[in-house]
Amino acid sequence: MDDLHKTILDYVRREYIEEGDDRPLGVTTPLITGGIVDSFSMVSLKRFLEKKYTMKIPDAEATPEAFNTVESIAKLVERFGAVKV
């Protein structure tokens, strides 16, 4: 697992998973449809990514589908990471 995937995975585990919740979490685990991250919490996850990688993810691209797995989030970061703000 590369740094990008690991950073996102660690953040999701730290911020959105309850201590003692032993559900397996990997890069393909559904976050939105799996009920781990809801549409409101997605805003704080987006904010984290934008801060961490000094970039801007357009609101229109911040869809539940795009945020549904660590893998899809990483693709989003790779896509917009080059557009520095």
Partner 1 sequence: MYVAETIEEKAHWNIGSYEQAQREFRWEAAAKELGFGTGEPVNIGWHLSDRLCRLGLARKTALLWEGGDGRERTYTFDDLRVLSNTFASHFWRLGVLPGERVCLFLDRVPELYIGFVGLLKLGAVVQPLFSAFGEESLLTRLADAGTSVLVTQKKHLPKVRRIREKAAHLRHVVVVDAAGLALREGETPLDLDAEPSSAGFPDFPATPETPSVLHYTSGTTGQPKGAQHVHGSLVAQYLTAKWVLDLKGDDVYWCNADPGWVTGTSYGIIGPWSNGVTQVVLDAGFSARLWYDFMARRRVSVWYSAPTAIRLLMREGLDAVREHDLTSLRHLASVGEPLNPEAVHWSREAFGLPFHDTYWQTETGCIVISNYPGMPVKPGSMGKPFPGITAAVLDPGTHEPVAEPGRVGVIGLRPGWPSMIRGYWRNPEGYAKKFGNGWYLTGDRATRDADGYFWFVGRDDDVINTGGHLVGPFEIESALLEHPAVAESAAVARPDPVNMEVVKAFVTLKPGFAPGPDLELEIMNFVRKRLSPLAMPQEIAFVETLPRTRSGKIVRRVLRAQEFGEPVGDLSTLMED
Residue 12 has φ and ψ, to the nearest 5°, of -60, -45
Give whole-number Cα distances, 8 to 82, 83, in Å.
Answer: 18, 19
Binding region for partner 1 (CB under 8 A) out of 1-9, 24-32, 70-78? 24-32
- Binding partner 1 (rule: CB under 8 A), the pick from 6, 10, 26, 39 is 39
- Least distance between partner 1 and beta carbon 72 (Å): 12
Q: Is 42 exposed, middle or buried (0-12, 13-18, 19+ CB in 10 A)?
A: buried
The one among 19, 58, 82, 84 contacting partner 1 by CB under 8 A: 19
Binding window for partner 1 (CB under 8 A); candidates: 2-10, 35-43, 74-82: 35-43
Task: Give CA–CA dist 50/35, Å, rounded.
Answer: 23
Cα separation, 69 vs 28, in Å, equals 5
Which residues here bind partner 1, judged by CB under 8 A? 15, 18-21, 23, 30-35, 37-41, 43-44, 47-48, 51, 60, 63-65, 68
